[in-house]
Structure 1
Amino acid sequence: GAITFSGDDYKLLGVDLSELSELERTLEEVGLNNEIPTLFIAEVVLTYMETTRSDALIQWAAEHFPRACFLLYEQVQPEDPFGCVMQQHFRQLSTALRSLALYPDCQAQQRRFLGKGWTECSVMDMNEFFTCCVPEDEQQRVQTLEPFDEYEEWHLKCSHYFVLAASKGMEPSWTPLSPIPCHAGPVGVAGSVPAAVCAGLSAIPGLRRYGHRSVLVKPNVIVTTGGFGEEDGQHCRVRNVHLLSRRAGHWGAVCVTPNVPDQRWGERLYHTVSRVSDTLALVVGGRTSPSSTGLGMLWLKFPETWGASGPGDVAVELVNLQPAAEAAALRWRHSTTEITFKGEQYLFVYGGRSALQPVLGDWHFLHTPELSCTAIAVEGPVPEGRHSHSACSWEGGVLIAGGLGAAEQPLGSVFLLRELEHGFQWQTIETHPPLVPRYSHTAHVHEGKLLLVGGVWFHASSVPGITVIDLMTGLCLNYVINVEHLEWPLMLHNHSSVFLPDEKELLVIGGGGNCFSFGTHLNPEPVLLNLSSILTSH
């Protein structure tokens, strides 16, 4: 019969949940008393059923059990980039997620249960659940179980799963998800930005990667290093340096011949690359595995005449720096920004994380080009430690925005490290409306406006697009990215972006990541975002 296992106080039944008459008969045969409080648990079960049948099951449970509770755990947010990858995964397994069409978000699921006979219902996504319902000491225990550096994937996965608790007839009332957090309201949108595949780069290998860095080292030349992606037909930490060169308005790849005594030097994620001159760029930090101690510094040296005589091969020399400024270098997910102090050029290394410290809040001034650590006085309220933030040069100082803090919560603060006569001062930039907390974004400054590109935030109803902050007034406007001309999901985290001021365009290179158990998504092609309308109208 339907009983597949039977013990003194436990019975395991094999019944088709969509056949309610058979389910009811089987439960009666095994002696279930529906008058006593009953708990239903459905962990990614109902979503595989036809929605009319799963709706009927929810309503049947409410009608046949006077005192009952229902716990539901399954997926939401099917239409954003992560949701598209998630849906494609289940379609390939021939196990489509059927509930998502009618119930795409937490609010729709709550209305579903309240409309099917349940008198109380609370729901939250797993980011809210972990933050609000898991005790702080348990959060800390989980966070230290093993080396971990996949924050974006973790938070995106949690924003696409929810837990729901419904009840009826319970005295006292059953509210296990209390205190229920206030759901973050929808993010205000001021307009949209069109996205298009960058012509000429669609067939170029080597740019499908994430956790890399791309930088404009001279007019019309972009260098991309490191990251995780496709190389020689397999997924790995990418060793090769990649060059893009623009001629007659069109971008194309340049063949690079590296002179690398130890090839592992170029194999790193979450480092920074800073242009020092037309022939010199500095790589700071990065990691191989999350348990590594960090990778120090590296010069990228380019020939004096490179790029002047056509798209020929370019020899790139990688020169290891030992043991210069180790404390500054042994970190990842940090920022390195050019600043000026008393007419001298420095690189300002800030924040990040290391194998021993999950969040760093320190900073170092490296005098260029010899990279000596210099003590410069800094006053003002010190920003909360963070990693995966953005940093931009502005008026001789540095703008720091967002990031992930010590509690693994996105931050919404913006700070300016401003030059004074005797040193620097931290200064908070107030934004209105307040900046939605985010991390893993990129940033650029153009004519007094701070542009934040993509990232990860906890507003499950949308994904970050472009945010423009007027640094004079603090006005903060959000723009969605119009991806109707792209044939694949555009994941704007762990990407790089290069701002082209003359065209008012952003070239987005790479991005994506491991989408939980649904597979790895790498943005297949560089994308151009046209900002002319929002930078003119802002």
Structure 2
Amino acid sequence: MGPRNRERRAGAVQSTNDSSALSKRSLAERGYVQDAFAAMLVLGAARRAPLVHRGYYVRARAVGHCVRAFLERACAHPGGPRAQILSLGAGSDSLYFRLKSAGLLGRAAVWEVDFPDVARRKAERIEATPELCALIGPFLKRDPTSAMCFESLDYRLLGLDLRQVHRLDEALTKAGLEASSPTLVLAEAVLTYLEPERAAALIAWAAQRFPHALFVIYEQMRPQDAFGQFMLQHFRRLNSPLHGLDRFPDVEAQKHRFLDAGWTACSAMDLNEFYHRFLPAEERRRVENLEPFDEFEEWHLKCAHYFILAASKGDHFSQSLVFPPSEAFPRIDPASPSGVLPARVTVKDSRGANLKRYGHASVLLSPGIILSVGGFGEQDGLHCRVSGVHLLLRDCDFEWTGSYISSQETGVQWDGRLYHTMTRLSETDVLLLGGRLSPVSPTCKVLKLGLGKSKDNDNEGVNMTVTETGPEDSILSRWRHSTTDVSCQNQSYLFVYGGRRATEPVLSDWHFLHVGTMAWVRIPVEGGAPEARHSHSACSWQGGALIAGGLGASEQPLNSVFFLRPMSHGFLWQSIDVQPPITPRYSHTAHVLDGKLLLVGGVWMNSSSFPGVTVINLLTGLSSEYQMDTSSVPWPVMLHNHTSILLAEDQQLLLLGGGGNCFSFGTYFNPHVVTLDLSPLSTEQ
């Protein structure tokens, strides 16, 4: 790489600091953390989305946890050497000021290093802010020719390029950093922006220089799955590509990276594990109630793709100091795959590409017609709640073509809801129940959609009518629920179960809607009921309903499978014992094929792998895992917030839509309808 490209790359990396600083300021202003200094250190303001707030919150708590653990041990003995915190790539972070105001620097000092331009801007900002100067105390005027941009008794700010380790070492020695003192080296989203060789040199340098030290890093990992690929694309677009993820793709590889460089102990975990192991339940509830929130998939995926690591040297520190052992977050890795299910792109015409959406609903009207409605997606070049409908039509050659019908073409406007359910009533009619417009705006009306020929031309048109359910329509003030066809005493019902609403983050109730009269009916249900959940799967089987997975009350995925079994006088909840236990998951789809329950895609956070298709034999309870061969499908393919249609006679599964708002990386929509070949399952016992 030439000097000019290196400078451009450095500038792009520096711009990530500016974005991060604004996010941290927004985080504090919304009450996630207490940080009065974030607004003083960054010019301007930006209101970030709740998902970004959560991501930066868990980052702040993970790093803060490590800093506190270091200070408690390093400053435990009166009369010992002064503890040192060396923050590499510190940017506009307010760590020093937060520690100083909390009285935690009585026997410690902070050194910060970043690019010269970043360090100089921060120094100027500090000097121009009386509150910061008063907290720091007396400081020296900076020398424009020196790397030292700011200096006081317990704070040094240096402008250096971390890629030049020799110069870094010389400047830190001149700035008073003692090799023998207990030292915390903090690199928060730093090493991944360095070329692997330069990052390795920095890790080895710290191991050699500090005999009593803790090295803490927070950065990205897991580049191989769909979310990871989209994350990599985002940073490449910013001209600040992530380095080293191919060599160190997971926490185990990262731990070996430090152990091989001379660190004596190392512990690491992803941010899902940190969040549930090291934050008290009451603190999690506080944060989860700060803002309306409904992006659980991307929240858990973001946390699965970032990790916190602590490597240690010397008698002062050990991995148990920072991350003591705990069984609070069990790992449930799936069994080895039993086989592979081939996948291919189904619809290639441009009209079919308009199925770019998630949070929608799809239904098979007849063997040759699939209707998809609602969700968030692309419409008229914008990202919005989609008001048009999408048809997949199968021709005489058994090929599928897509057709997008806008609301202008139908002449009918509707609310464009998300996370609703849609049930087939006939070859021309479907019923939409529940859903939301926003995390505080549920939709309570039942919508009946009719598909028929347009009077004006030969194209298919959509006619829509709204049916009121009467005074009890508040039952449908929910989303992320399920609706399943069931039967009792030769009567057909829709079984509405679970979900969430603005005032209740997770629901455990259920209701029966009589299809003929469109009235709610009370039917006795016995047995131990499932725990409250949303974003689960539900499908009909033997007149009852199979409920699998979902997200529970503590925002953790579930792995239970229940059968609402028909009885002579009503129904019975029956738990299905699955062996081996499936990995907890949610936001998946499910179907029954030849006595087997198929759980397709979804999100899980108790495993280092990513979901494919789990197959559960409903007679024996035995489970097996199948991977999806997507080598013939443009990558990435995100299998959450999608829908799927089973074509049992063809031994095929159509995957429609899916994706989500991927943290600060942007929104991703699966661009293609994908067909999954299920024929390998026919050989399974």
Cα distance in structure 2, aligned partners of 1:55 and 1:97: 15
2:132 matched to 1:2?
no
- Counterpart in the other structure of 1:240: 388
- Correspondence 1:260-339 to 2 at 5 A: 263-265=413-415, 267-303=416-452, 312-321=459-468, 323=470, 325-339=472-486
TM-score by length of 1: 0.95
Shift of 1:96: 1.4
Cα distance in structure 1, aligned partners of 2:349 and 2:439: 32
The gaps in structure 2 that reach 5 residues or longer are 1-145
- Counterpart in the other structure of 2:487: 340
For the residue of structure 1 that corresponds to 2:337, the secondary structure is coil
Cα distance in structure 2, aligned partners of 1:200 and 1:135: 49
Is 242-251 or 477-486 further displaced after alignment?
242-251
- Counterpart in the other structure of 2:679: 532
Cα distance in structure 2, aligned partners of 1:153 and 1:2: 41
- Counterpart in the other structure of 1:33: 178
2:567 matched to 1:417?
no
Cα distance in structure 2, aligned partners of 1:460 and 1:450: 21
- Counterpart in the other structure of 1:179: 325
Report the AA paired with residue 253 of structure 1: G
- Counterpart in the other structure of 2:661: 514
Shift of 1:518: 1.2
Shift of 1:201: 4.4
CA contact 1:325–1:372 (8 Å) conserved in 2: no
TM-score by length of 2: 0.75
Cα distance in structure 2, aligned partners of 1:177 and 1:41: 16
2:370 matched to 1:212?
no
2:272 matched to 1:127?
yes
Cα distance in structure 2, aligned partners of 1:255 and 1:209: 12
- Counterpart in the other structure of 1:144: 289
- Counterpart in the other structure of 1:78: 223
For the residue of structure 2 that corresponds to 1:66, the secondary structure is coil
Cα distance in structure 2, aligned partners of 1:489 and 1:23: 40
The gaps in structure 1 that reach 5 residues or longer are none
**1:19 aligned residue (154, 158, 164):** 164
Is 132-141 or 384-393 further displaced after alignment?
132-141
For the residue of structure 1 that corresponds to 2:230, the secondary structure is helix
CA contact 2:412–2:464 (8 Å) conserved in 1: no
Greater percentage in helix: 2
**1:391 aligned residue (538, 556, 566):** 538
- Counterpart in the other structure of 1:192: 340
CA contact 2:182–2:316 (8 Å) conserved in 1: no
CA contact 2:333–2:609 (8 Å) conserved in 1: no
Report the AA paired with residue 373 of structure 2: T
Shift of 1:34: 2.0
CA contact 2:387–2:406 (8 Å) conserved in 1: no
Shift of 1:453: 0.7
Cα distance in structure 2, aligned partners of 1:16 and 1:351: 54
Cα distance in structure 1, aligned partners of 2:347 and 2:285: 47
CA contact 1:385–1:406 (8 Å) conserved in 2: yes
Q: Deviations over 1:287-336 (max 9, x none)?
A: 01101133431111234xx59xx973223223242536413311000000
For the structure 1 residues 163 and 184, does the alpha-carbon distance in structure 2 shift closer, same or farther, using more than 3 Å as the test?
farther
Cα distance in structure 2, aligned partners of 1:234 and 1:182: 41
CA contact 1:68–1:170 (8 Å) conserved in 2: no
- Counterpart in the other structure of 2:598: 451
Cα distance in structure 2, aligned partners of 1:428 and 1:171: 50
Report the AA paired with residue 250 of structure 1: E
Q: Percent identical across equivalent pairs?
A: 51
2:554 matched to 1:404?
no
**1:43 aligned residue (188, 196, 199):** 188
CA contact 1:324–1:372 (8 Å) conserved in 2: no
Report the AA paired with residue 291 of structure 1: V
Cα distance in structure 2, aligned partners of 1:518 and 1:119: 35
- Counterpart in the other structure of 2:518: 371
Cα distance in structure 1, aligned partners of 2:403 and 2:200: 57
CA contact 2:330–2:606 (8 Å) conserved in 1: no
2:592 matched to 1:442?
no
For the residue of structure 2 that corresponds to 1:47, the secondary structure is helix
CA contact 2:192–2:242 (8 Å) conserved in 1: yes
CA contact 1:334–1:350 (8 Å) conserved in 2: yes
- Counterpart in the other structure of 1:493: 640
Greater percentage in strand: 1
User: In terms of Rg, which structure is larger?
Assistant: 2
Q: Deviations over 1:101-154 (max 9, x none)?
A: 211110000111111111121100001010111111111111101000000000
For the structure 1 residues 168 and 183, does the alpha-carbon distance in structure 2 shift closer, same or farther, using more than 3 Å as the test?
farther
Report the AA paired with residue 274 of structure 1: T
Is 92-101 or 196-205 further displaced after alignment?
196-205
Shift of 1:457: 0.7
Cα distance in structure 2, aligned partners of 1:396 and 1:78: 43
Cα distance in structure 2, aligned partners of 1:255 and 1:132: 46
Report the AA paired with residue 421 of structure 2: T
CA contact 1:201–1:526 (8 Å) conserved in 2: no
CA contact 1:494–1:511 (8 Å) conserved in 2: yes
Shift of 1:90: 1.1
Cα distance in structure 2, aligned partners of 1:182 and 1:423: 37
**1:63 aligned residue (183, 194, 208):** 208
CA contact 2:331–2:607 (8 Å) conserved in 1: no
For the residue of structure 1 that corresponds to 2:377, the secondary structure is strand
Cα distance in structure 1, aligned partners of 2:568 and 2:418: 37
Q: Deviations over 1:169-195 (max 9, x none)?
A: 133635212235565446421111111
- Counterpart in the other structure of 1:115: 260
Report the AA paired with residue 349 of structure 1: V
Q: Aligned Cα RMSD in Å?
A: 1.9
Q: Which structure would you say has the larger RCO, counting Cα contacts within 8 Å and 6 or more residues apart?
A: 1
Cα distance in structure 1, aligned partners of 2:196 and 2:188: 16
Cα distance in structure 1, aligned partners of 2:250 and 2:561: 30
CA contact 1:157–1:516 (8 Å) conserved in 2: yes
- Counterpart in the other structure of 1:225: 373
Cα distance in structure 2, aligned partners of 1:127 and 1:391: 26
For the structure 1 residues 279 and 286, does the alpha-carbon distance in structure 2 shift closer, same or farther, using more than 3 Å as the test?
same
Shift of 1:370: 2.1
- Counterpart in the other structure of 2:579: 432
Q: Deviations over 1:383-437 (max 9, x none)?
A: 0000000000000100000000000000000000001111110000111111111
For the structure 1 residues 420 and 186, does the alpha-carbon distance in structure 2 shift closer, same or farther, using more than 3 Å as the test?
closer
CA contact 2:359–2:658 (8 Å) conserved in 1: yes
Cα distance in structure 2, aligned partners of 1:414 and 1:94: 46
Is 320-329 or 465-474 further displaced after alignment?
320-329
**2:241 aligned residue (96, 100, 103):** 96
Report the AA paired with residue 419 of structure 2: Y
Cα distance in structure 2, aligned partners of 1:94 and 1:280: 50
CA contact 1:159–1:460 (8 Å) conserved in 2: no
For the residue of structure 2 that corresponds to 1:5, the secondary structure is strand
Shift of 1:531: 0.5
Shift of 1:466: 1.0
For the residue of structure 2 that corresponds to 1:204, the secondary structure is helix
